[in-house]
Amino acid sequence: MSSDQEQQQHITAVSAPGKVLLAGGYLVLDRAYTGLVFGLSARINIVAQEIHTSPGVHLTEIVVESPQFLEAQWRYGYHLADEDGGIKVTQLQIGSHIVANPFVETTLNYALTYIARISKHSPTHVVKSARLTILADNDYYSQPTTSSSSSSADAATTHSSSSSTTPPAATINALRGSRFARFPVKLTEAHKTGLGSSAALVTSLTAALLTHYLDPTLFSLSSPRGRQVLHNLAQAAHCAAQGKVGSGFDVAAAVYGSSLYRRFSPSVLSSVPEPGARGFATALERVVSDSDDTNKIWDTQIEKDAVSLPQGVGLRMCDVDCGSQTVGMVKQVLAWRAREPVASKELWDELQRRNEALALVLKEGRTDDLRGAVAAVRELVRKMGAASGVPIEPESQTALLDALEGVEGVYGGVVPGAGGYDAVAVLCRDDVETAELIKEFVAGWSKKVGGKVSLLEVKGEMKGVRTEELGIYKGWIQ
């Protein structure tokens, strides 16, 4: 076996898709209702590999980096906490400052703790130093106004020298125009398109850690049991990282792909203390494993068979390069529900029926009924926005969606999820001609009304998390 082959045996690559909640925004927060969620072809990729050291040198360090952005590296030390507190990571300073990444840090705490609990070896032997490289498909971020080729070259020359996965100058040209663009900004300055990057990151990072550290007899991404463990662990980590809020539909999409989703009860995760706290490890293992078939903890419902796209129909996304503060919008809508329980329930019940009707139209392939089904959903979404005082479908988005319906091959579109000014979802004919017509339309729309609207390359797809071949990361990993 060659040295290259030996090294590749210690490299794990996985990816998880983004999401679009086509119908069920806000409703999906309540277990009485469901959400129609589609996975997307845009993926967050994680490559995990050992850190090779000189003989006699021992490290206890996890290095996480996102080489598409400037200064995007996070280093963590880790130790076994007292009193069953699990594996606790501590961020190490790089240079003169520390920039926190709560999603990465929380995922490491949760995933490494679970790995240490179920491994056949002692925690100090199973968790070894590793380097984790994050590569995001371009559609997760609005592209800069400069061309991708020039920004790639500029970013390459100014990228933080601490990032050891920065490709050498000889490979920069090969990265221009690739699925992993360089962005000449820090990660915190990048404009997200609203495709669910945090859930895809937590899911792919969790899957990479489980696959990298555990024997296949303990965890396999290809088995139903493995995906269930991944779902439960990623949900727990993602929920904790974002402050115990959210329904979890985005993590479910990252694990399983497109589905009809009913959320889990918030009480499912209430028994898990903070990482490092007494009893964290035992409580986390109990929640994640959930192996008692007679008294299951998790009550989420994920129905893949209830969701599909008809033959010849595609789901596309148009980026409006703005973004919304989703958490604040959710709080306002929930406050409206509390103020007007009767009226809000009537509206939500009817919206649920219309969402289910849209799902059925898609599943049965009744393309002639698509426009009416989409319009019926949008009508009540606008009504909910007016009643709650939340711009769920803002006037500018209404004008854009109404105009898009005039493009040949477009069946209709929605402002998905919590709404606002993120990317809009469009149901259309799945062919090159329609895509070109939409591109021409949004280019003209941008000039007409100002701002920047563009058709993203991303499409709806059914598959969830998966392992990947290393060849697609050529130039990005050692």
Tell me the pLDDT tens digit for each residue of 102-159. 999 999 999 999 999 998 666 667 888 999 999 999 999 886 544 333 333 333 323 3
List of E strands, 129-228: 130-136
Distance CA 193, CA 341 (A): 33
Q: What is this structure's pTM? A: 0.89
Contact 86, 109 (CB under 8 A): yes
pLDDT given at position 123: 65
Residues of the chain whose pLDDT is less than 70?
A: 1-9, 53-58, 120-124, 143-177, 291-295, 321-327
**Domain 3-304+466-473, what architecture?**
2-Layer Sandwich (3.30)
pLDDT given at position 126: 81
Q: What is the dotted CATH code of the domain comprising 308-461? A: 3.30.70.890
Specify the pairing of strand 130-136 against strand 61-65. Answer: parallel
pLDDT given at position 443: 95
Backbone phi and psi for residue 28, each to the nearest 5 degrees, phi listed first: -65, -10
pLDDT given at position 57: 55
Residue that is written with structure tokens 């595609």 in the block: 314
Q: Show Cβ contacts of residue 406 under 8 Å, excluding neighbours closer than 6 positions.
A: none
Specify the pairing of strand 313-319 against strand 424-429. Answer: antiparallel
pLDDT given at position 145: 46
Q: Taking the mean position of all CA atoms in its chain, how far away is CA 129? A: 25
* End-to-end CA separation in angstroms for the chain: 18
Contact 88, 78 (CB under 8 A): yes
Distance CA 197, CA 141 (A): 9
Residue 178's nearest CA partner among 140, 148, 222 is: 148
Distance CA 85, CA 141 (A): 37
SS3 label, residue 137: coil
Residue 302's nearest CA partner among 373, 401, 235 is: 235
- For the chain, residues classed under CATH 3.30.70.890 are 308-461
pLDDT given at position 170: 31
Distance CA 209, CA 211 (A): 5
Q: Indicate left, alpha or beta for 330 from its phi (over 0: left) and psi (-120 to 50: alpha).
A: alpha
Distance CA 178, CA 380 (A): 40
- For the chain, residues classed under CATH 3.30.230.10 are 3-304+466-473
List of E strands, 431-475: 454-461, 466-467
Distance CA 438, CA 408 (A): 9
